[in-house]
Amino acid sequence: MRETSSRLLSLLALMQSRPAWPGSELAERLGVSTRTIRNDIDRLRELGYPVDATRGAAGYYQLGVGAKLPPLLLDDEEAVAVAVGLRTGAGVSGMEESSARALAKLEQVLPHRLRRQVNAIHTTLSKGPDNTGSNVPDPEVDPAVVTTIAAAIRDEHYLRFDYAVPESAPSLPILVEPYRLVSWQRYWYLVARDEAGEWHTYRVDWMDLRMATGRRYKPRPMPEDDYMDFVLRDVATTGWKVHARITVFASAEEVLSRIHAAVGIVEPVDDETCVLITGAESLEVVAVYIGMLGIDFQVTAPQGLVEHLKVIGERYRRAIEQ
């Protein structure tokens, strides 16, 4: 017979893997008597795990929804962060099945208030395509801020915040109708209508939330599939620290066949020329993007990018000199 603590962990793992278990099946899986299972269920309840029991010939045990999160060594914010991360991980190649299993186990025991937070983020979040890494540290976003924004979208409440773009003008007070959270390239964005009814994209790490308004708005959403396209276009032209319009000596179709959707927007000029509108958090990343095209191009602005390309051009030239 297994040691009690080890058996309890095995019992808990089984109960988290599917909604309902007959006592006899649990006893068979763990190699103990049904009486031992009843005693172990009582121990789980003493530890704070809400276990419901249905009596009778078709009786079963199942983990229920308690008044608080069971002792998983996670606080509320950590539990929400793990659930959101698992939802995101479910779309990563090779992790779909394991992420889905882990998420099912966690959501089964989340208290109602935390489950509402996770569902709010899930139903209001779109995840954009990943591209390449960056030499710029990822921005830190407070999970409580993401949760608050998601709840405002879910409840159709106006959202008020101060918005400050680094190394730019002072922060501005903004009031919007929030519609969609978009996670892209390790950044979080909010798509919202301003007071004039215009659509905008806001970086969540540049937002400082103010007191909740509690005021509802009448939704006027975009078509469901348009939020991601809007963010890609808006960020490519306004949402990065470094922006560039690059003349590429190839057709728009040729360039589009060579770049990832996350790189930028391509505008045709003629059959042999187009303009790539792109950006990133640093000059180095923009240089990587355009270098990967494998096509001749011309850059005239911004001046910082022109100077950086001169530097790396000389660096490459020196690398092949005898």
For residues 103 and 126, what is the distance between their CA atoms, to the nearest angstrom? Answer: 18
Report which of residues 4 and 11 the model is more confident about: 11
- State the architecture of 4-63 in CATH terms: Orthogonal Bundle (1.10)
For residues 151 and 138, what is the distance between their CA atoms, to the nearest angstrom? Answer: 24
Delimit the domains of the chain by residue range: 4-63, 71-239, 242-320
- The partner residues of 297 in beta bridges, in order of sequence, read 248
Three-state secondary-structure class, residue 50: coil
Q: What values do phi and psi take at 139, rounded to 5? A: -70, 150
Mean pLDDT along residues 207-225 = 90
Tell me the pLDDT band of 217, cut-offs 50, 70 and 90.
very high
For residues 279 and 234, what is the distance between their CA atoms, to the nearest angstrom? Answer: 11
Q: Match domain 242-320 to its CATH number in 3.30.1360, 1.10.10, 3.30.70, 3.30.530.
A: 3.30.70
Q: Which amino acid is at 192?
A: A
* Whether the predicted pLDDT of 150 surpasses 70: yes
For 234-252, the pLDDT digits (tens) are 776 666 778 888 999 999 9
Distance of alpha carbon 255 from its chain centroid, rounded?
28
* Whether the predicted pLDDT of 270 surpasses 60: yes
Q: What values do phi and psi take at 22, rounded to 5? A: -65, 145
Return the DSSP state at 251.
-
* Whether the predicted pLDDT of 308 surpasses 60: yes
For residues 213 and 292, what is the distance between their CA atoms, to the nearest angstrom? Answer: 47
Domains 4-63 and 242-320 share a fold: no
In degrees to the nearest 10, what's the CA dihedral of 258, 262, 263, 264? 110
Return the DSSP state at 91.
T
Give pLDDT, residue 1. 42
Other residues' Cβ atoms within 10 Å of the Cβ of residue 133: 11
* Whether the predicted pLDDT of 158 surpasses 90: yes
Q: The pTM is what? A: 0.59
Helices (H), the chain: 4-17, 23-30, 34-46, 76-89, 96-109, 112-124, 143-155, 226-234, 252-258, 283-291, 303-320
